[in-house]
Amino acid sequence: SAVISQKPSRDICQRGTSLTIQCQVDSQVTMMFWYRQQPGQSLTLIATANQGSEATYESGFVIDKFPISRPNLTFSTLTVSNMSPEDSSIYLCSVWDTATYEQYFGPGTRLTVT
Amino acid sequence: RKEVEQDPGPFNVPEGATVAFNCTYSNSASQSFFWYRQDCRKEPKLLMSVYSSGNEDGRFTAQLNRASQYISLLIRDSKLSDSATYLCVVNSANGQNFVFGPGTRLSVLP
């Protein structure tokens, strides 16, 4: 199974600032995703990170607010821009392993915006 | 109608009990179905995939009913360690990603 690490694991940020979250996978994967899980809620897909092209965003999420990079098949970043308290959430990186036909998640980044 | 729906619970059951969760999905073209388990303050982890013929893994049994568009998870002989949120996951209408249900919270009590 794919092993995924995320940095930072948690952060407390002031409103109006930006935070970039890194996701590293121990093997090459085609499909990488970024999810958000707000307190007490289930996971919501933000976007699919495409290697070599722009990310594909879900309804309600835009590139200006959540720019994503995917420079290669093992790494991706998600930036939460111009943060507000409503952005306080856990952000999870995920990959789809086409070998095992399973989806794996990173440990998440717990973001608190004050 | 939401794409994936679950009873949020909580289900509070005694140790040793049998408990069943249901999940309904709206996209009849969905092909892939899963149950994930999420412990408090942890990431979701795959519990089991759900196959058309139904499948069993120890105390856990998953069933798929395509006609009625629902998936079920049965847990027999509940353990304290089964306490978690169980997430139903279905692949999306475009088949490229997966939609998570809101989760059903289970508490197994001593």
**Structure tokens given for B69:** 């568009």
Q: Tell me which chain A residue has its CA closest to the CA of residue B87.
A: A42
Residues of chain A contacting B43 with CB distance shorter than 8 Å: 92, 105-108
Sign of CA dihedral B55, B98, A93, A110: negative
Backbone torsions φ then ψ of B50, nearest 5 degrees: -115, 120
Q: Is A87 exposed, middle or buried (0-12, 13-18, 19+ CB in 10 A)?
A: buried
Q: Tell me which chain A residue has its CA closest to the CA of residue B4.
A: A42
**Structure tokens given for B30:** 């969905």
**pLDDT band at residue B94 using 50, 70 and 90 as cut-offs:** low
Residues of chain B contacting A106 with CB distance shorter than 8 Å: 43
**pLDDT band at residue B63 using 50, 70 and 90 as cut-offs:** very high
Q: In the predicted model, what is the mean pLDDT of residues A39-52?
A: 89
The pLDDT tens digits of the residues spanning A23-39 come to 999 999 988 999 999 98
Answer whether A45 touches B (CB < 8 Å).
yes
At residue B106, does pLDDT exceed 90? yes
Q: Which residues contact B36 (CB under 8 A, 6 or more apart)?
A: B44, B45, B46, B47, B86, B87, B89, B100
